[in-house]
């Protein structure tokens, strides 16, 4: 029976439907719940009824908007009765649901009714209510485990798991599982990568896009698909954020790859996503059409390895990701001065006192002159004597590739032999189990170890085959270098574009006489036409920055 104090208060009719419940059939639909609760309220003379409806929310989610709204009204003393179809509609987290039914509702003198479960707090505590809440919780956990298993299988096969489509792509009209470049936004993505690769900082990129009146991703999706993001700002349609650009520049999807299992959650009740370790992610290359070529993408990641932010002048360090200390392998960082011509580079480990390495001091303008001089010389030779350049480069490349191929082929043979041995071992174990020679428990223990080792070997084999393919790319790299040398005839100054086109890595050695103003640094330049070889340069560290090739 209703108490007198509850007569003038709200009768909360709470309805909830999740995606899992939709599969259960029409009986759980929102409309069915509304009709049932309205009929029950009218039949039992409940007045001042108000619906609280969460459509499309899981029962383990305790942040459901209408659920939170109803609890706020309860705690404010506005609600006298809460009616649901059954206890699972209130929630599937048994700890939370038990707390509401046994602590919260009684504390605020709220009557709770679950129609089909025959639960009415006015008749006293139902001994089965706690057990039903536990079963509802177990059902949610079981559904979560099944969904996770399906997603894991799809992710292992290389299918995309992301529910959203990255800016720059759209769903293929002929194949809903495939994505293709969006003709409207793909050029914007390419423009962003090109600006960053040329040395423009993220903040300046945002300003450029705003001046060019390029719609931000959230506004573009809203206008095209009607999807409303949390950070949607319709009053500022051209406002791009640093975080948006930064995430875009590090997203491997733009070079044609699918990356699965980037994040995970610890429990079906914890919605926070935790970033996975790189070794736990699955990368599938060339699964869709790329917007950004892999060389440009790798260059941008090199910049991320170095200084990520633009300097006070609004410029990116053009040597970020290229310049390294030859002794300790640390990146070298730029030290800025009021007079730009005095900017210099020092070893990162020396600056941070992480090792006993020396400073490897070299001025930026001197380094620019050395690298630019070497680029002019090498590209001129490649441009004017293409055949001789190709012959010499391919000969050195083949010698290096031959050494690698011998080593790689040997390892490949070892891995393949081990995989076959493991297959035979598992087959013999199965026969022993079938014949009763070993117990099922013993079989499970041994087979688990073998099956765990197999994927590790297969992963190593895939990595090895990738290195084998890389070692065969020498000829392609040389042709690309010659073509670029013919393209870049005039080189008035050193730019990030030139570094991207011709240089892979630069290593700076310490001077033979420390702090000398006349003794130079030995510099090793790794050109793109032969990644595993290098050309050594001697730099005379005078104010003129005289440069010579070491023969």
Q: E strand or H helix at 514, and its extent? A: none
Range 390-408 average pLDDT: 61
Torsion from C-alpha of 82, 87, 89, 95, nearest 10 degrees: 100
What does DSSP say about strands 344-347 and 362-363: parallel, antiparallel, or unpaired?
A: antiparallel
DSSP of 26-70, one letter per residue?
A: GGGSHHHHHHHHHHHHHHTT--SEEEEEEET--TT-TT-HHHHHH
pLDDT-derived band at 192, boundaries 50, 70, 90: very high
Q: Give yes or no: residues 413 and 361 share one domain.
A: no
Determine how many CB atoms are found less than 10 A away from the CB of residue 271. Answer: 12
In a domain, 153, yes or no: no
The structural domain count of the chain equals 4
Backbone angles phi, psi at 114, to 5 degrees: -115, 110
Range 166-187 average pLDDT: 89
Greater confidence, 279 or 69?
69
Q: Give yes or no: residues 16 and 47 share one domain.
A: yes
> What's the domain range around 20?
4-148
Confidence at residue 387, expressed as pLDDT on a 0 to 100 scale = 83
Q: Give yes or no: residues 281 and 189 share one domain.
A: yes
Alpha carbon distances (Å) from 393 to 201, 384, 398, 537, 550: 36, 15, 8, 18, 17
| Neighbour-count burial for 226-259, b at 16+ CB within 10 Å, e otherwise | eeeeeeeeeeebebbeeebbeebbebbbbbbbbb
Q: Give yes or no: residues 136 and 29 share one domain.
A: yes
Report DSSP state, residue 23.
T
Determine how many CB atoms are found less than 10 A away from the CB of residue 178. Answer: 15
pLDDT beyond 70 at 6: no
Final residue of a structural domain among 251, 273, 305: 305
Strand segments, DSSP code E, in 173-252 are 175-181
Backbone angles phi, psi at 248, to 5 degrees: -65, -40
In a domain, 164, yes or no: no
The Cα–Cα gap between 69 and 441 comes to 52
Q: What is the pTM of this model?
A: 0.56
The residues with which 112 forms a beta bridge, in sequence order, are 82
Confidence at residue 77, expressed as pLDDT on a 0 to 100 scale = 92
Q: Kindly report, residue by residue over 66-78, the tens digit of the pLDDT.
A: 999 999 999 999 9
Enter the tokens of residue 78.
Answer: 């506005």
CATH code, domain with 244: 3.90.1750
Q: Kindly report, residue by residue over 492-515, the tens digit of the pLDDT.
A: 888 877 887 888 889 998 888 776
Q: Of the ranges 39-48, 366-375, 398-407, 452-461, which one carries the lowest mean pLDDT score?
A: 398-407
Q: Which residues contact 65 (CB under 8 A, 6 or more apart)?
A: 54
Enter the tokens of residue 416.
Answer: 């393949």
In a domain, 203, yes or no: yes
Q: Is 346 helix (H, G, I), strand (E, B) or coil?
A: strand
Final residue of a structural domain among 475, 490, 519: 475
pLDDT beyond 70 at 3: no
Q: Which residues contact 488 (CB under 8 A, 6 or more apart)?
A: 379, 498, 501, 502
Please, which contacts does 424-432 make with residues 24 or more away whose CB atoms are closer than 8 Å? 425/450, 426/450, 426/451
Q: Give yes or no: residues 125 and 15 share one domain.
A: yes
pLDDT-derived band at 188, boundaries 50, 70, 90: very high
* Phi-psi group of 56: left, alpha or beta (phi > 0 → left; psi -120 to 50 → alpha; rest → beta): left
pLDDT beyond 80 at 195: yes
Candidates 179, 141, 178; CA nearest to 270 is 141
Q: Give yes or no: residues 208 and 299 share one domain.
A: yes
Packed helices 186-197 and 242-249: angle between N→C axes, nearest 10 degrees: 90
Q: Give yes or no: residues 53 and 72 share one domain.
A: yes
In a domain, 407, yes or no: yes
Q: Give yes or no: residues 348 and 228 share one domain.
A: no
CATH code, domain with 121: 3.40.50.1390
Q: E strand or H helix at 442, and its extent? A: helix 440-471
In a domain, 259, yes or no: yes
Report DSSP state, residue 311.
-
In a domain, 275, yes or no: yes
Confidence at residue 156, expressed as pLDDT on a 0 to 100 scale = 82
Q: Give yes or no: residues 187 and 123 share one domain.
A: no
Enter the tokens of residue 172.
Answer: 């293929």
Range 429-457 average pLDDT: 73
In a domain, 154, yes or no: no
Final residue of a structural domain among 441, 475, 509: 475
pLDDT-derived band at 1, boundaries 50, 70, 90: very low
Q: Give yes or no: residues 517 and 405 share one domain.
A: no
Q: Give yes or no: residues 8 and 97 share one domain.
A: yes
503-508, strands of its sheet edge to edge: 323-325, 503-508, 522-527, 535-539, 547-549
In a domain, 318, yes or no: no
Q: Give yes or no: residues 380 and 413 share one domain.
A: no
Q: Of the ranges 49-53, 119-123, 378-382, 390-394, which one carries the lowest mean pLDDT score?
A: 390-394
Asked if 164 and 199 count as a contact pair (C-beta separation under 8 A), the reply is no
Please, which contacts does 86-89 make with residues 24 or more away whose CB atoms are closer than 8 Å? 86/114, 86/115, 86/116, 86/117, 87/114, 87/117, 87/119, 87/129, 87/132, 87/133, 87/136, 88/59, 88/132, 88/136, 88/139, 89/14, 89/15, 89/16, 89/33, 89/59, 89/114
Asked if 244 and 217 count as a contact pair (C-beta separation under 8 A), the reply is yes
pLDDT-derived band at 115, boundaries 50, 70, 90: very high
């Amino acid at each position: 029976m209703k108490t007198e104090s509850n007569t003038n208060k709200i009768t909360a009719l709470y309805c909830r439907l999740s995606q899992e419940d939709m599969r259960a059939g029409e009986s759980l639909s929102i409309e069915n719940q509304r009709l049932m609760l309205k009929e029950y309220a009218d039949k039992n003379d409940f007045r001042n009824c108000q619906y609280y409806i969460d459509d499309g929310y899981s029962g383990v989610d305790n942040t459901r908007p209408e659920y939170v709204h109803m609890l706020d009204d309860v705690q404010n003393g506005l609600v006298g009765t809460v009616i649901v179809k059954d206890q699972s509609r209130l929630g599937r987290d048994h700890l939370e649901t038990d707390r509401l039914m046994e602590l919260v509702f009684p504390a605020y003198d709220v009557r709770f009714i679950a129609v089909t479960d025959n639960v009415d707090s006015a008749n006293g505590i139902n001994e089965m209510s706690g057990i039903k809440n536990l079963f509802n919780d177990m059902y949610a956990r079981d559904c979560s485990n099944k969904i996770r298993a399906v997603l894991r299988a799809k992710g292992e096969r290389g299918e995309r798991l992301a529910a959203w489509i990255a800016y720059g792509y759209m769903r293929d009209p002929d194949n809903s599982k495939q994505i293709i470049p969006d003709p409207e936004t793909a050029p914007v993505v390419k423009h962003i990568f090109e600006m960053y690769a040329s040395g423009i900082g993220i903040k300046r990129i945002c300003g450029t896009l705003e001046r060019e009146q390029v719609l931000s991703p959230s506004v573009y999706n809203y206008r095209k698909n009607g999807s409303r993001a949390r950070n949607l700002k319709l009053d500022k349609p051209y406002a791009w954020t640093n975080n948006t650009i930064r995430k875009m520049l590090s997203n491997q999807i733009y070079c044609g790859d699918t990356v699965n299992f980037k994040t995970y959650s610890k429990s079906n009740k914890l919605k926070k996503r935790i970033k996975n370790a790189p070794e736990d992610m699955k990368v599938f290359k060339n699964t869709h059409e790329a917007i950004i070529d892999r060389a440009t993408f790798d260059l941008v990641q090199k910049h991320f390895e170095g200084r990520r932010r633009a300097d006070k002048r609004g410029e990116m360090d053009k040597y970020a990701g290229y310049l390294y200390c030859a002794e300790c392998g640390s990146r070298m960082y730029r030290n800025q001065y009021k007079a730009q011509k005095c900017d210099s580079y020092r070893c990162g480990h020396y600056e941070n006192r992480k090792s006993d390495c020396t400073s490897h001091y070299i001025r930026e303008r001197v380094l620019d002159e050395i690298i630019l001089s070497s680029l002019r010389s090498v590209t001129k030779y490649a441009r004017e004597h293409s055949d001789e350049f190709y012959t010499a480069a391919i000969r050195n490349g083949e010698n290096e590739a031959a050494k690698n191929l011998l080593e790689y082929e040997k390892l490949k043979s070892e891995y393949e032999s081990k995989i076959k041995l493991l297959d035979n071992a598992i087959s013999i174990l199965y026969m022993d189990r079938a014949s009763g020679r070993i117990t099922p428990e013993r079989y499970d223990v041994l087979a688990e170890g073998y099956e765990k080792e197999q994927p590790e070997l297969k992963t190593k084999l895939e990595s090895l085959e990738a290195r084998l393919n890389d070692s065969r790319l020498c000829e392609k790299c040389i042709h690309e270098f010659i073509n670029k040398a013919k393209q870049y005839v005039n080189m008035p100054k050193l730019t990030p574009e030139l570094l991207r086109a011709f240089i892979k890595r630069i290593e700076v050695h310490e001077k033979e006489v420390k702090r000398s103003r006349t003794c130079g640094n030995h510099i090793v330049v790794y050109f793109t036409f032969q990644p595993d070889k290098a050309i050594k340069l001697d730099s005379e560290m005078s104010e003129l920055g005289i440069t010579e090739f070491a023969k």
